[in-house]
Amino acid sequence: MKPKIRITLVGRRGECPCHRGHKVGDSFDFDTERGALCPMAAHVAFPYIDILRYGGEPPRARSGEVLFCCPDSDVMNIFKIEKED
């Protein structure tokens, strides 16, 4: 059985609001709510998710968390990915 993956918007660095309407604190179960997640963010998240699901260790931020940014340079939402047990 695949482990559950949770993606949470934890910060932002861009000047513009998210075009998809995401706000800091929004959280998504990748398997059941991925349609609510911005497709651009989901595309960037997929390699991290794949690594976590198959026992690998993705790169971590200085905080020790697995983080990635939205590819929209005007928005730059920062997401955290967690594997749930």
Instruction: Assign 70 a pLDDT band (cuts: 50, 70, 90).
Output: very high
Asked whether the whole model's pTM tops 0.85, one would answer: yes
Helices (H), 14-53: 30-33, 39-53
Contact 77, 8 (CB under 8 A): no
Between these two residues, 1 and 36, which has the higher pLDDT value? 36
Summarize pLDDT for 12-27 with one digit per residue, the tens: 998 999 999 999 999 9
Report domain extents, the chain: 4-84
